[in-house]
Homo-oligomer: A and B are copies of this chain.
Amino acid sequence: MSTSYLDIDPWKIIENTFDKNKIMSSESIFSIGNGYMGQRANFEEDYSGETFQGSYIGGIYYPDKTKVGWWKNGYPEYFAKVLNAPNWIGIHIQIDGEILDLNRGKVKRFQRELNMKNGIYTRKFQITLNNGIEISAEIIRFISLKENSLGAIQYKITALNRDCEILFEPYIDAGIVNQDSNWDDAFWKNKSLKNIDSFAAIISKTNKTKFEVCTYMSSKLIFQNNIINSPLSKNKFKNKLSQIFKINIHKGKTVKLIKLGGYINGKRNYKKNLFIEAEKLIEKFKHIDFNELLKVQTESWKRIWEMSDIKIKGDLKSQQAIRFNIFHLNQTYSGKDPELNIGPKGFTGEKYGGSTYWDTEAYCLPFYMFTKDQSIPKNLLKYRFLQLDKAIENAEKLGFGKGAALYPMVTMNGEECHNEWEITFEEIHRNGAIAYAIYNYERFTKDFTYVKEMGIEVLIAISRFWSQRFTFSNDKKKYVILGVTGPNEYENNVNNNWYTNYIARWCLVYTKNQIKKLEKLYPIDFLKISKKINWNKVELNLWEDIIQKTYLPYDDDKKIFLQQDGFLDKELIPAKRLDKSVRPINQNWSWDRILRSVYIKQADVLQGFYFFSDDFTLEELEKHYKYYEPFTVHESSLSPSVHSVLACRIGLIDDAYKFYLQTSRLDLDDYNLEVEEGLHITSMAGSWMSIVEGFGGMQIVNDKLSFENKLPIEWTSLSFKINFEGSILEVNVGKNKTNFIWKGKSKINIISNGKKISLP
């Protein structure tokens, strides 16, 4: 674990020193966004040092031609890349002709601060330029939560030691390339540029996908009480427009430039003139005082926090961490557009390309379910319904038919993007997580409309896939699933991964029951859907047979479910006995050694115990946790959170707390020394889970499941206290109005400092 260079604060992320080696890390950590667009915390002014410039727009992607060593039938044609979008924040600044660049002058003070309470990012510094002029600056920036397409910057400069001429040249730059690109294709083409009065805009179009985006800006200079709305002059470059403001100020005086900017996204402004839309937006906001804009932003975030804050007393690091996670989850996904989803890096980087993984259903849904109006988690489910046709096509490419659907491992528009056969073709348990999310949503909200209107089609298509994917083994007289990769990606192409077999069978049962329910409650709707998807009751016969005869690998001696066939042939040496020099094994061992080893990347059998806790006793959970966790190396950012939840359920609070810290401060403490590439957005939802579903679960009320039928809007709080390492953790989730209670099948023990504490 790297010691964080950031201050600990309950509401803020604060950096107090100027360290050129941390620029890219901070660019990730201080990222801002509003679910529609987002950006890394790049400097507005020029910076000649090492930096990773990144701005991103939700849903705007490029189908980058697949790169593989050896092509295999069924591979997708492309990998959808989140596109690095034109830069709207840039302001070129010269002081008496000297370029303002923190890499070149002498930086005296430097501070940046991301206020998570109101989503406002502030940076202050004092610098002596190479021409001897000393200035201080304060920059405030935000991306509006209320107005999807709007961002704003206030750039203040104070002359400290001399009178000087200050030149601001705000610009928009559409000559952008991706860091992550397979073949160095040009991703964008610029269609037209407009630079009139105080308004400048560029319409760019993505190659192949033909998405249109208008990047715009409008600036004004404010000095004392004068507002200069029009630039002195304008520049037009090939892919870039700029406007020049110049002013002479006396020593001690302050000038500020206000810049509004952002994107009009053609996808959401279909057939509209994007220039006009941008101009309208500017007209609406350009006369509003910047402080007014800040107030609106603060107000918007206030409403978010009312719904989703978690208070932790007695542990500031934990408090800061959980808010950091909640904050970024809200910046990444607002839930208003069912065509958007939650990318693994959100708007903070490019790694992993496409936007949607099974992370959404398995890890993120609960957060949005608990903290948002139900329309929002419903939109996450609707996303998959909208892509059902593509999932059916995807299954067809692999040889399935009759309406069977295989949802993609990675996708942007429903088409599969991933291209490792062992994942693309074999990590099919993702299909199960999508069905599980439907169940989870219905269980929590008691809202049956999704199933009725959309979900039943998704469920049937998924179950059709499973029924075709099972093979009847004459040898075992059971249905088996051959050649899969489970959630533990350190095993590939195994037979009978217990988790996959289990969730596949569960899908068949759940779908069967939902069909019955729908048929009974809404016979006419069901009839219509039946016709549409060519449903025939006869299909249930095979499903039933599979349900009765699903093979689930089990060891009679050890009384545990086996991760897959042959698991016990491995060398069963606990991970803690590995030499530190080989950890993480994915950086130190060859792939084949990892595959042959017993070590588990992330919860696999235990993922099943997490999802299907009703099906097992706590004793069974404890047995499996204690068997599998010692082999688990937690080399996926998704691993610690599930283990934290399970550890809570069996009272291993030391484990639970360790895992919680690991997941919640993953980026702040940069555990994997890679935060500069972007944040781990989807695993942030896991931190939330480990508080609410883990620690929260320790507030046993009685031995019953009690996800009650409360809409998230009604549901409001969770609070509990835990004695831990001498300090009291007092956790409060939500608005402190009603109770949140976690199911428990039997008594839970909390162990603190090695001592068992019985809870009621």
Contact = CB atoms under 8 A, between A and B. Distances in A.
Interface of A: 66-70, 72-75, 397-399, 419-422, 425-426, 471-476, 480, 482-483, 492-495, 565-566, 568-572, 586-596
A592 B481 CA distance: 12
Nearest to A587: B73
A57 B37 CA distance: 56
A572 B473 CA distance: 9
Nearest to A70: B420
A480 B69 contact: no
Number of copies of chain A assembled together: 2
A422 B423 CA distance: 13
Contacts of A589: 73, 399
Nearest to A590: B74
A593 B588 CA distance: 32
Contacts of A75: 591
A600 to B, nearest CB: 15
A675 to B, nearest CB: 20
A569 B426 contact: no
29 contacts: A66-B69, A67-B67, A67-B68, A67-B69, A68-B68, A69-B419, A69-B420, A73-B586, A74-B592, A397-B590, A398-B593, A399-B589, A399-B590, A421-B591, A422-B493, A425-B590, A425-B592, A426-B592, A471-B569, A471-B571, A473-B570, A475-B569, A482-B569, A482-B570, A492-B493, A493-B595, A565-B565, A565-B566, A566-B566
A483 B74 CA distance: 23
A588 B69 CA distance: 20
A480 B398 contact: no
Q: Which 5 pairs across A and B sit closest by C-beta, in order of nearness?
A: A74-B590, A425-B592, A475-B568, A72-B591, A473-B569
Q: Which of A73, A75, A426, A589: most chain B Cβ within 10 A? A: A73
B568 A473 contact: yes
Contact of A495 (B569, B571, B587): B569
Given A70-B420, A74-B590, A471-B571, A566 B492 contact: no
Nearest to A428: B592
Contacts of A586: 73
A743 B421 CA distance: 44
Contacts of A72: 590-591
A719 B505 CA distance: 63
A169 B420 CA distance: 51
Given A493-B492, A569-B482, A74 B591 contact: yes
A679 B658 CA distance: 61
A419 B426 CA distance: 20
A565 to B, nearest CB: 6
A68 B71 CA distance: 10
Contact of A566 (B398, B482, B568, B593): B482
A562 to B, nearest CB: 10
A471 B73 contact: no
Given A425-B592, A595-B493, A476 B569 contact: yes
Contacts of A571: 471-472
Contacts of A592: 74, 398, 421, 425-426, 483
Contacts of A565: 565-566
A22 to B, nearest CB: 26
B474 A596 contact: no
Nearest to A397: B590
A398 B593 CA distance: 7
Nearest to A472: B571
B493 A493 contact: yes
Given A68-B68, A493-B492, A568-B473, A593 B420 contact: no
Contacts of A595: 421, 483, 493
Given A493-B493, A591-B425, A596 B483 contact: yes
A578 to B, nearest CB: 12
Given A73-B589, A399-B589, A421-B592, 15 more contacts: A67-B67, A68-B68, A69-B420, A70-B419, A73-B587, A73-B588, A73-B591, A75-B591, A398-B593, A421-B591, A422-B493, A471-B569, A471-B596, A472-B571, A474-B572
A399 B475 contact: no
Q: Which of A67, A493, A565, A568: most chain B Cβ within 10 A? A: A493
Nearest to A421: B591
A589 B73 CA distance: 7
Q: Which of A472, A480, A495: most chain B Cβ within 10 A? A: A495
A484 to B, nearest CB: 9
Contacts of A594: 73
Contacts of A397: 590
Q: Which of A67, A69, A70, A74: most chain B Cβ within 10 A? A: A69
A532 to B, nearest CB: 27
Contact of A69 (B68, B426, B476, B590): B68
B566 A596 contact: no
B566 A495 contact: yes
A494 B495 CA distance: 9
B593 A399 contact: yes
Contacts of A422: 422, 493
A546 to B, nearest CB: 15
A635 to B, nearest CB: 12
A128 to B, nearest CB: 44
Nearest to A594: B73
